[in-house]
A and B are shown apart, each in its own frame.
Chain A
Amino acid sequence: MIHVTEPRFPSGTRAGGAGGARVRYNDFVIRFANVNGSGSASANGMFAKALFRMGVPVATRNIFPSNIEGLPTWFEVRVSERGYAGRREGIDLMVAMNAETFEEDIASIVPGGYLVYDNSKDLHVGLRRADINYVGIPISQLVLPEFPNPKHRALFKNIVYLGSLSALINIDFDVITGMVSSQYKGKDDLIAPNIHALEIGRNYVLDYLDGPLPIQVRYSNAAENKILVDGNTAAAIGAIYGGATVCAWYPITPSTSLAEAFEQYCNRLRVDESGQRNFAIIQAEDELAAMGIVIGAGWNGARAFTATSGPGLSLMTEFLGLAYFAEIPAVLWDIQRAGPSTGMPTRTQQGDLLAAAYASHGDTRHPLLFPSTPNECFDFAVVALDLADRLQTPILVMSDLELGMNDNLADPFAWEDDRRLDRGKVLDADDLDAIETFGRYVDVDGDGIGYRTLPGTHAEKGAFFTRGTSRDEYAAYTEAPEAYTANMDRLLRKWETARRLVPAPVVEDEGRDVGIIYYGTTALPIPEALDRLAEDGVELDTMRIRGFPFTTEVRDFIDRHGIVFLAEQNRDAQMKTLLVNDLQIDPARIDAVLYYGGFSISADTIYEQVSERLVEYKVPRLRAVGGGRSSPPSK
């Protein structure tokens, strides 16, 4: 076996050709390849946060297995001065710390890119690529004499490469050490060894390598006045502001962190001076029970929600149907992931739209909300609770792993103190006294929404028996066809009311002939894909859908454009199905741009698929094709 032999402590070697090369600032993709359970998450998180604190926009991505310890895991950071937050194919800088995935990790680096690796052992010659730069740091050897405890040694390896990166790409070292100090505040004995490990990594690069690399960061104001937060945390805080008091849930990745963040922030924001906790959180025995608890609480007048993912949504569908017919407010956050069972389900997807929109048996349909950013997760948490009460029906918020579990830039959360929650049509005792007769399902206002009462409101009036079906307008039991049909038709009127109340799409329409529709996290790579198309001479109008049923703006946008693309992250173009079904439009009017491989859809995918179709459509361009950047670079 032939190995490439390298000096372990090469003096004066160059890290990878910084000398003379044009330096690229704040514009690269870095990926950390780690072993799950090795403690890398903390170091990787600090890396992203350090760049963010230097004012540099970052978007993070966890790519992780269904595993506690041992399987490969990756952490990717998109660093972009222009604020591109979507995924871009190709890795500029790979920190390869997992021998098991070394080969594929090396293969994923763009030509001219950089591999940072532990060269304590020789690199197999088969892993050599002529078109990338190797930056060897003998991390294992460096930590060996410094940290006698093997467990500490493994953990501090992560801190060592963070220290090395600070020198390699010019991260302000004070920012990192400051973060270590604040992170371990109160556990002061951990600060010194962590800073020591950082210095070991940093000093090795400064002493032995000719850094920094031509990929660097520098202070910027592009992320000024921003916060760095994941969508699940944002949704949890929003649920608190939206007045949710009951949360019932069952652990399932990638939704678990939403319920856990709700508890964490409730403990901070919802405990009064006397120690009373103005919330109730139940980790249920399964998703059926979680949904049942939410519906019981909603029936009894508390704002309640659950968070789940695909398999949980499946288990909740019977209850969702009951809540639709019984007209109970409920909010369900679906943090979507890929397919059933385990494995791929820790990857992201927008695959639950149809299952959510028409969840359950009988004629059912549910309003959906599609947040794209942490700020929208916060806002929609409140909007969903308001809509659930207003429409007396379940509202499903369709987030996904990409948005829910990854840190993204966001505007600081804001709240208007005079904002009032919309509790919908609920009659209190005085209201009941003022009316002659109470009919729970009478469409008094013509919007399909009846007035409801809460248990215990009045001694004489307003009590009724809640059933799924088989009732007249006064909630009396009947199986009469006329009563059933009238009720179902009223629910359709309510659906039309929902159409007016769900968030309108965000439309940018300059009167072009080509438009693209997208929603949720497919929005993240869109600006970059559009910029690249514009460089090719094609400009597109855009519409980001935010709610189902579709408001009139959605139909108008489709009507106005000769070519309408729809980008989404599932195989079956589920949003297209919803559009065709809800708006009764010709399926040929919408050309789906799809990705469903488990990662989030990349700017490259959208750019390439749209470009190909535009050729087929013979759309004229303002400039010659090929003017745009293509990535990864071909040479």
Chain B
Amino acid sequence: MTYVAKPRVRHPLLPINELGLTRRDYEGAVSTLCAGCGHDSVSAAIVQACAELALPPHKFAKVSGIGCSSKTPSYFLSHSHGFNAVHGRMPSVATGANLANRELYCVGVSGDGDSASIGIGQFAHIVRRRINMLYIVDNNGTYGLTKGQFSATNDKGSTSKKGVPNLYEPIDLVSMALQIGASFVARSFSGDKSQLVPLIQAGLMHKGFAFIDVISPCVAFNNHNGSTKSYDYVRGHSERLVSADYIAAGEEITVDYESGTAEDVAMPDGSTLRLRKLDENYDPRDRVQALTHVQRAAEAGEVVTGLLYVDPDAADCHDALGTPAAPLNALDESVLCPGAAALVGVNAQLS
């Protein structure tokens, strides 16, 4: 059941990937979000990341909850199935989808309301189960669709459009993910494509739960002075701690970096993750150090970005469950149904 994609008319300058596809083949429907919305940049980064990796555009399971962020899965990868579920419950739907077919790339897009407020319970539990997926939170600190209420990731003291300060402490999903057991934790900025695209690539190829918290400003309700989730604030207060490049197996590693700041991490599939670090003492494989660093930065009002933690050899949920390599949804009666003979023993034990 392999299919070669149909040749289609394309701009002659668009690069063609190993599957003979261009970026257009990875796009989705036209966005209905506001012009300038950070979320559209994230969708574009997903398109670019998948196109560059030359992944089959139909081999994804896209899942989301409810909110502006959760609309975005229809704006990328239109050759794949998507599921717009209920508010805050994307993690459980993603879990079921991944259990049913482990061969698909599972991409979940959620928001700060969807994951840090109504869905914080499900977020916590999908992290600890290490479902093999890429989980992106488009984090803008506000409820856009209901017109600008604070969300749980909004910093204390950060103001609303009308100047009212947020009274409550923020929830940091990166810290939570680090603490509960995610094997890939990153933070990025929707306005920094050069960082975000490689992170998405590395997250997609990571086996285990890959989490990227993307600060993605809401131009309608949370992009003013006084907001800590605005384009200006994030540009002025972020620090690229660790950048990551995904280098596929067999691909030539050509770019050189200053010694001491670059480090290659071998991935189980033969690929390489090249990490470029601002601070050579920072070890992105040290969970405790990562957590400390993130918390210290937050205290100082800084946003550290990049691949903050990675465990390339982590086991995922399927490993824990001991399921077969074949997708569970592909097993037929001959495997699933033990047959009449097996009932003889069952009945004997009950008589």
Residues of chain A having any CB pair with chain B under 8 Å = 226-229, 233, 237, 240-241, 243, 245-246, 248, 265, 269-270, 272, 275-282, 284-286, 288-302, 304, 318-319, 322, 326, 412-417, 420-421, 428-429, 453-460, 463-468, 477
A sample of 22 cross-chain residue pairs with beta-carbon separation below 8 angstroms, ordered by A number, consists of A229-B350, A237-B346, A241-B338, A245-B99, A245-B100, A245-B336, A248-B96, A277-B324, A278-B323, A278-B324, A280-B99, A280-B321, A284-B125, A285-B125, A289-B122, A296-B92, A299-B96, A300-B101, A413-B347, A456-B101, A456-B104, A459-B79
One digit per residue, 1 when the CB lies within 8 angstroms of any chain A CB and 0 when it does not, for chain B 27-59 equals 001000000000000000000000000001111
Q: Nearest 9 pairs between A and B by C-beta?
A: A296-B96, A292-B92, A302-B100, A297-B96, A301-B329, A459-B3, A300-B100, A455-B81, A296-B93
Question: Which residue, of A272, A282, A465, has the highest number of chain B Cβ atoms within 10 A?
Answer: A465
Among residues of A, the one whose C-beta sits closest to the C-beta of B349 is A227
Q: Which residue from A226, A293, A415, A456 sits with its C-beta under 8 Å from B80?
A: A456
Question: Which residue of A has the minimal Cβ distance to B347?
Answer: A412
Q: Are A459 and B89 in contact, CB atoms less than 8 angstroms apart?
A: no
Contact with A along B74-100 (1 / 0, CB 8 A): 100011111111100101111111111
Q: Is B343 an interface residue (CB 8 A)?
A: yes
Interface residue B129 (Cβ < 8 Å from any Cβ of A): yes
Pick from A326, A415, A453, A455: contact of B104, CB below 8 A: A455
Chain A nearest CB: distance from B60 CB in Å?
Answer: 7
Chain B contacts of A468 at CB under 8 A?
84, 86
Mark interface residues in B56-73 (1 if CB within 8 Å of A CB, else 0). 111111010000000001
If A280-B323, A302-B329 touch, does A295 touch B340 (CB 8 Å cutoff)? no
Q: How far is the CB of B343 from chain A (nearest CB, A)?
A: 5
Given known contacts A302-B99, A466-B81, A421 and B333 CB-to-CB distance under 8 angstroms: yes
Which residues 325-351 of B have a CB within 8 angstroms of A? 328-329, 331, 333, 335-340, 342-343, 346-347, 350-351
Taking a contact as CB atoms closer than 8 A, the residue among B63, B92, B97 that contacts A289 in the complex is B92
- Is residue B4 within 8 Å, beta carbon to beta carbon, of the partner chain? yes
User: Does B266 belong to the interface (CB within 8 Å)?
Assistant: no
Most chain A beta-carbon contacts within 10 A, residue among B5, B6, B103, B322: B322
Q: A280-B328, A459-B4, A466-B81 are in contact. Are A296 and B101 (CB under 8 A)?
A: no
Q: Assess A304 versus B3: contact at CB under 8 Å? Given A276-B322, A278-B335.
A: no
CB neighbours of B60 from chain A (8 A):
455-456
B260 at the interface (CB under 8 A from A): no
Q: A299-B96, A416-B340 known; 8 other A-B pairs, CB under 8 Å?
A: A228-B350, A280-B323, A280-B328, A294-B96, A300-B329, A415-B337, A456-B80, A459-B56
Question: Which residues of B are found within 8 Å of A272, using beta-carbon distances?
Answer: 324, 335
Contact partners of B163 in chain A: CB under 8 A: none
Distance (Å) between the CB of A190 and the closest chain B CB?
20
B301 at the interface (CB under 8 A from A): no
Cα distance, A414 to B342, chains bound together (Å): 10
Chain A's closest residue to B343 (CB) is: A413
Task: Closest A residue to B58 by CB, please name it.
Answer: A459
Assess the B96–A293 pair: CB atoms within 8 A: yes
Is the Cβ of A464 less than 8 Å from the Cβ of B81?
Answer: yes
Contact between chains at A465 and B121 (CB < 8 Å): no
Q: Is the CB of A300 within 8 A of B97?
A: yes
Residue pair A465, B63 in contact (C-beta under 8 Å): no
How far in angstroms is the closest Cβ of chain B from A9? Answer: 40
* Cα separation A288 to B350 with both chains bound (whole Å): 34
The number of chain B residues with a CB under 8 A from chain A is 64
Contacts of A233 in B (CB 8 A): 350
Task: Name the contact of B346 in the complex, choosing from A226, A413, A466 (C-beta under 8 A).
Answer: A413
Q: B48 → chain A, closest Cβ, in Å?
A: 20
Residues of A within 8 A of B101 (CB): 300-302, 454-456
Q: Name B1's closest neighbour in chain A (CB-CB).
A: A429
CB of B126 to closest CB in A, whole Å: 9
A278-B336 Cα distance, complex, nearest whole Å: 7
Across the two chains, which residue of chain B brings its CB closest to A243?
A: B336
Asked if residues A286 and B324 are in contact (CB atoms below 8 Å), the reply is no
> Are A292 and B96 also in contact (CB < 8 A) when A286-B121, A300-B61 are?
yes
CB distance from B121 to the nearest CB of A (A): 6
Q: Are A285 and B333 in contact (CB under 8 A)?
A: no
How far, in Å, is A59 (CB) from chain B's closest CB? 15
A417 & B339 in contact (Cβ 8 Å cutoff): yes
With both chains docked as a complex, state the minimum distance between the C-beta of A101 and any C-beta of chain B, in angstroms: 31
Indicate if the CB atoms of B336 and A270 lie closer than 8 Å: yes
| Contact A318-B86, Cβ < 8 Å, known A270-B336, A282-B129 | yes
CB distance from A323 to the nearest CB of B (A): 10
CA distance A228 to B349 in the complex (A): 9
In this complex, the member of A294, A302, A456 whose beta carbon has the largest number of chain B beta carbons within 10 angstroms is A456
Q: What residues on B are CB-neighbors of A245 within 8 Å? A: 99-100, 328-329, 331, 336
Let me know if B79 and A277 touch, CB within 8 A: no
B89 touches A289 (CB 8 A): yes
Contact with A along B198-210 (1 / 0, CB 8 A): 0000000000000
A226 to B347, CA, bound (A): 9
Whether the pair B351, A226 counts as a contact (CB closer than 8 A) is yes
Distance of A410 from chain B, by nearest CB (Å): 8
Within the complex, the shortest CB–CB distance from B291 to chain A, in Å, comes to: 22
Interfacial chain A residues near B100, Cβ < 8 Å: 245-246, 296-302, 304
Tell whether, in the assembled complex, residue A243 and residue B333 are in contact, meaning their CB atoms are under 8 Å apart.
yes
